[in-house]
Amino acid sequence: MNVLFLGPAGCGKSLLTHRFGEWLSESLGFEVGYVNLDPGCETTPFNPDFDIRELFTVQGIMKLEGLGPNGAMVRASELMEERCDEIVEKVSSIGKELTLIDTPGQMEIFVFRPTGPNIVKRLKAIRHTVSVFIVDPTLASSPSELVVSMMLGIASQLRLETPTVMVANKADVEAKIEIEKLLGNYAKLRKMVKTSEGAFTDLALSCASIIRRLAQASRVVKVSAKTGLGMDALYDLIHESRCTCGDLT
């Protein structure tokens, strides 16, 4: 199985890839493969079996093509697209039971451009692929912000067409709202969105009902990539998503 880690910049994709992998091998004895698909990162907390930076880096593109960081990131995305076959071949030949895939910091580069969907489509054809969408509590400090974060998760699910589970990371930091509880209690979420101030309360309420209908994961688990809290719950959630889509191989 492949597990993709997705989410907004700085939400903890790389650290969670590392921590979850460490937990899978130490606690469950799995053979874990690691992939870095972020051409812009300086370092990775894990030791990748395949690293996109073996092919190109954002820094290199900036120098070579005289581009700024954003232009170089877009160019990197195009290069990933051009070398899609090679990337899929490298990822698929890792040969571990579970391969954890860290994705670019700026998720729009991967998810909202053709690159991500194309790579994932091919990975899916080879073996079961699940996404973990990470909600960053610092970007979900009010009910309507939480709704926005979840919409982003649903948009990723639509783009990549993979079973997608959602986690609230940074559980070791005190959160302003109880994310996982609110999402497990739709009536409470609606009530809180309704009473929160904002010109777009109605819009937020409509989005909340979409989340209820479309979020594949009926629950969100709380994890900490820093302390390792919730790795067992994340594993269960991934396993459940696999059972729901009928693939138990």
Instruction: Give the CA radius of gyration of the chain.
Output: 18
Query: 216 contacts which partner out of Mg ion, ligand GTP, none, CB within 5 to 8 A by kind?
Result: none
Query: 224 contacts which partner out of ligand GTP, Mg ion, none, CB within 5 to 8 A by kind?
Result: ligand GTP
From the number of C-beta atoms within 10 Å of its C-beta (0-12, 13-18, 19+), residue 240 rates as: middle
Segment contacting ligand GTP by CB under 6 A, of 24-32, 47-55, 165-173, 184-192? 165-173
Binding of ligand GTP at residue 172 (CB under 6 A)? yes
| Maximum Cα interatomic distance, the chain, rounded to a whole number of Å | 54
Question: What is the C-alpha to C-alpha distance for residues 2 and 34, in angstroms, rounded to an integer?
Answer: 10
Question: What is the C-alpha to C-alpha distance for residues 14 and 240, in angstroms, rounded to an integer?
Answer: 23
Pick between residue 39 and residue 153 the one whose CB is nearest to Mg ion.
39
- Interaction with ligand GTP in 39-98: which residues (CB under 6 A)? 41
Answer for which of 2, 3, 4, 13 binds ligand GTP (CB under 6 A) is 13
For residue 175, CA distances in Å to 111, 143, 146, 195 come to 27, 12, 12, 19
Tell me, residue by residue from 1 to 30, as one string, x for binding to Mg ion by CB under 5 A and - for no binding.
------------xx----------------
Residues that bind Mg ion (CB under 5 A): 13-14
Residues that bind ligand GTP (CB under 6 A): 7, 9-15, 38, 41, 105, 169-170, 172-173, 224-226
